[in-house]
Structures are given as C-alpha cells and as structure tokens.
Structure 1
Amino acid sequence: MTGSILELVRSSVSTSYLQAMKCRLRRLFMNFSKKIFLVIYFSLFVAISQNAWSHKVRMVTTDWAPYYASTLESGGVVAELVQAAFLRGGHESSLSWYSWIRAMRMAKVGSADAVMGAYYSEERAGIYNYSDPIFSVDVGLIALKSLGIDKYGGLRSLDSYIIGVMRGWVYTEEFDTADFLKKQIVVNQVFAVRMLFSKQVDIVAASISVFKHEANLLSNSKGQDIVVLNPLLDSKPLYLMFSKNIPNSLELVKSFNAGMASIRADGTFQKIRDKHGF
C-alpha cells in the first residue's frame, strides 16, 4: 500500500514537473523567437534605410574657374569643400559638368540631386531647397580701360552702355530689375570676355575672379587692359540648390549643412582653401 502511494506521488510530481518545464520552455522559445524576429526586423530596416538614405549624391554644375571647373585639381576649391562636407555628413557624391541652364533644369526635374555653386534668388527658392552658404565671391561690372570710366554713380548712369550679362544668372534685385539698362545676353563667361575685348559690349557683369581668370587665358588680352568699376554690385554667397523632386531632399540639406559646419569647426575648410590658394 505504501509503495503504491509513493509511486503515485512520484508520478504526480514527475507529471507536474514536466508540464512546468514544457510551459517554461515554451515561454522561453516564444521570447527567444520574438527577440530573433526583432533583431532580424531592425537589422533589415537599418540596412534598407542606409541603402536608401546614404546614396551617392548626384551633383551638377558648370565650369566656373577659378572656383570650380572640370580642368581644376579636385574640381576646384568649392567642389572639394562640398564633397568633404557631404562625406562628413555620411554621403559620397559625384559631380558632372554641363551648361548652367541644363544643370539647373536637371536638378529642377530630379534627374540630379543638387546644383553646385548657385546664387540666391526668391524665384529659385520656390523651385529648389537651398543649403547654407558655402563660399563668397565678388560680383561687379568690368570694362576696358579705354572706355574711360572706373566708377559709376548708380545704375542709371550706365544706361548709355551695352552691358553683357550671363544667361540664367541672377545678380542683385536692383540690377536684375533695371529694365532701363541695355543688357546683352551672353552664353557664359568665356564669351563675355571675348565680347568685351572685341568691343561687342561696353561692360560685363560677372564674378571678378572668374572674369580675370578667363581673360588671362586669352593670348590677346592682358589683366591691365580691364578695370573693375566702383562700387561692386555685391559680394555674393554661393549655395547648393537641392532638387525638390527627390526623396528626402530636406534631410539631405540638413545632412550637408551639418557636414559643412563640422569641416569649418575642425579646420578642414580652411586647409582646403589654403590648398587651392584661397
């Protein structure tokens, strides 16, 4: 009798123990499965997010030496600064060279992510997302010394001259809206230099350094033949213009701005300027 009772107790204990173990193992397996699922899920999420977000930024621009050009080392000072800022923000970037009008059109429709080296205007701000300023250039009016003037007292004092302006450029609001001026549209700065030296225009509105760079490349021109009229039109910041027709455009702007702020803070910005002679 006693033996039967002991067997019954052992059997009950074993059954209860096994059931408890089964429940515990089942809970452990479910918890483990959930953890594995969450690990796999978030790993895939991060991988997909990084693949979608950390893409190579497609930049476009035009030749604009000495600041940036396809013929300059590393694409020029502005190109190297911009690409360093993108890298600091976690993005690689590519840079392709087109006419200025085509470059802006590509970014507008989203076939490029950003245009490098643009001036600001309210009209453009309605089409593109602007970065923080990346560089600054002096813009003014340039004439041959033979014209006999070296300064002007307001834009209306220039209404008798033909002024060459670059197609697709913005200068200042006052200059751009001065309909009383005789403006001759020029394809780019190279043609502007040639037209001034051939006296097809009297004055050219341009970046001072860019004009002088192109003038020095002409064998029949000399730097002393030109004069920059006083006062300058403006000292204008250069920006990146990001397409509004790409995913994460504003996030890309923020990432670039953070990268640019970082390379300014740690001295990389100035080192790149020094490398290119700025």
Structure 2
Amino acid sequence: MTFFREIGLAAALLLFAQTHANAHELPPVHAGETLVIVTNDYPPYARANAPQSFLPDLFDAIGREMNVHFEFDFKPWKRGEQDVENLEAWGTLPYRRTEERTRKFNFSDALYIEDSPFFAYNAQGAKPEIRYETLADLHSYRLGGIQGYYYQPWFDEAGLNVEYALSEEQNFRMLHMGRIDLFSTARSVGWHVIRRLFPPEEAEKFYTIEKPLLEGAGLYLMTSKDYPNGDELLEHFNAALAKVKQNGTFESLMNRHGLAVNY
C-alpha cells in the first residue's frame, strides 16, 4: 500500500508541476494566421507608396516571433477605426490612448514613444516665445487640428479657436500661409512633413514651442475588444514586441529608417 501511495503522490506532484508550468505559457495562436492592420499614410513611420517603412517592418519582425502574418491596409483614419469596430481588421495604428478610446478598444504596449509639440512659423525667421500653463491659455491663438484626433475633446473643453483639416500636410500649409498659429503633431512626423513640403530656407522658419502638448507619450496598436481570441492575440503581440525590443531588432529598424530610438 505504501508503494502505491508513493506512486499516487508522485503522479499528483507531476501533474501539479505541469499545470503550474503551463500557467505561465501563452495560449497558442493559429500558425500562419493573417491579421489585417489598418493605418493611414503617416511618414516617416508608415508610407503607403514605399516598399519599406518602419511600422510595417516592425510588424514583420513581430509576426515572425508570433508565427503570424500582418497585412497592412492604408485607409483614412476614421475608416480604419470603423474596420476595427466591424471586425474587418484586427487593429489600427498608431494611436494615442485616451479614456474614450479605452472604453471602446484594447491597446497594445507602446510601440514607440514620441513627444507631440506645438509647431509654429514665423516668416521673418524669428522664434518668439509662446508660453502656456493650461490649454485655455492658448485662447488668443488660432490652432490647427485634424478631425477625430485625440486632442479634439481637450481643445473643445478649453474653448479654443481651432480650424480642422484632413492631414498634417494641410495644417502645415495653413501654418505657412498664416491661417493658423499653432499645430501639434508627433515631432518626427512634423519635421518630416515640413522638410518634404518646403525648401530649406522656409523649413528653417518653423519651430516648436517649449511646452509640448504631450511629452514622452506612447503610440499604440488599437484593437477590437470583440475580435475572436483578441485578448490572447494581444498577449502574444506584447510578448513579441518586448522580444524585438530586447534583442536589438527594434533599435536596428529605427536606425535603418533614420528615427530617434526612444522606447
């Protein structure tokens, strides 16, 4: 009897150990699965008409870790959100996380970190200081924005004078023409657009004010809460993202695409 009790105890201990070990393993994904990611033309991070850009390359690396394939679909921002809500795509990017969005969507860990300063322009090349403590302090300025961006509720609440356009390019053209005084976007994106739209002697007349709208904030993959196995997929995604950051792949991709390494 003692012998059989020992065998039973050993089996129970083995089962417990296996169960405990498995609890720390991620649930499996379907090997070779294709996941659709919607974004807009957002250079230098994502380019619709270029063979390579940072975010698609990053997702290729993440996909290899997850054993899935990511397919990028370029559409207007609001259409991308609708595709995620309608389960026609797994996720859309890159998005700032807000309380309103968090109620509707899930968010990955931060893909990368980037400030969003206010850009200004002075035709004489001067850089007059513009200081503010709260957004309401900017009530005397004409701001530019993009409809549906994260800051729209903030600007509305502060009672600011905002003219909304469809793209970064339109806002920087309005800034250059003097139709608006300030426009906020991700730092790398802003300078990329300015240098693409204007000759060097005009690009030098743009500047950023000291206090950014957002400082050290993340940009994220935003996914549907109702996507099949969505929570498990996001868990796998975050683990793979962490791995490519730890093994040097992330930094290598940032350097390849001429971006500042900040994560």
TM range (shorter): 0.7 to 0.9
Q: CA deviation at 1:207?
A: 1.6
**1:249-268 alignment, distance < 5 Å:** 249-268=230-249
- 1:163 corresponds, among 116, 140, 143, to 143
Between the aligned partners of 2:187 and 2:113, the Cα distance in structure 1 is: 12
Distance 1:50 1:153 in 2: 48
The separation in 2 between residues aligned to 1:260 and 1:183, in whole angstroms, is: 36
Q: How far apart are residue 110 of structure 1 and its match?
A: 0.8
What SS class does the counterpart of residue 93 from structure 1 fall into?
strand
Equivalent residues of 1:86, 1:260 under 8 A apart: no
- CA shift for structure 1 position 82: 2.5
Q: CA–CA distance in 1 between the matches of 2:169 and 2:237? A: 31
Q: 2:98 aligns with which of 99, 102, 121?
A: 121
Structure 2 residue runs of 5 or longer lacking an equivalent are 1-27
1:180 CA displacement: 2.0
Q: Corresponding residue for 2:224?
A: 243
Q: Deviations over 1:78-114 (max 9, x none)?
A: 2211231122112111001011111111111111111
What SS class does the counterpart of residue 116 from structure 2 fall into? Answer: strand
Alignment of 1:181-196 (within 5 A): 181-196=160-175
* Residue 212 of structure 2: aligned partner: 232
Hey, which of these two has a bigger chunk of helix by percent? 1
Q: Per-residue deviation at 1:177?
A: 5.2
- 2:257 is matched with which residue? 276
Return the alpha-carbon distance in structure 1 between the equivalents of residues 91 and 127 of structure 2. 42
Letter in 2 for 1:111: E
CA distance in 2, matches of 1:82, 1:236: 20
- Give, in angstroms, the shift of residue 176 of structure 1: 4.1
Distance 1:141 1:229 in 2: 6
- Specify the SS of the correspondent of 1:139: coil
The two structures have a TM-score, normalised by structure 2, of 0.79
- AA of the residue aligned to 1:123: E
Q: CA deviation at 1:245?
A: 3.0
Q: 1:105 aligns with which of 82, 96, 109?
A: 82
- Quick check: 1:86–1:255 contact (8 Å CA) kept in 2? no
Q: Which residue of 2 aligns with 1:62?
A: 40
Provide the secondary structure at the position in 2 that maps to 1:69. coil
Distance 1:178 1:149, change over 3 A: farther
Distance verdict in 2 for CA 1:79–1:182, change over 3 Å: same
CA distance in 2, matches of 1:219, 1:122: 36
Following superposition, the deviation at residue 233 of structure 1 comes to 1.5
Q: Report if the CA contact (8 A) 1:152-1:229 is conserved.
A: yes
What secondary structure is seen at the aligned counterpart in 1 of 2:115? strand
Indicate the residue corresponding to 1:207 in structure 2: 186
Per the alignment, residue 179 of structure 1 pairs with 158
Provide the aligned C-alpha RMSD in A.
2.2
Once residues 122 and 246 of structure 1 are traced to their aligned partners in structure 2, the CA distance between those partners, rounded to angstroms, is 20
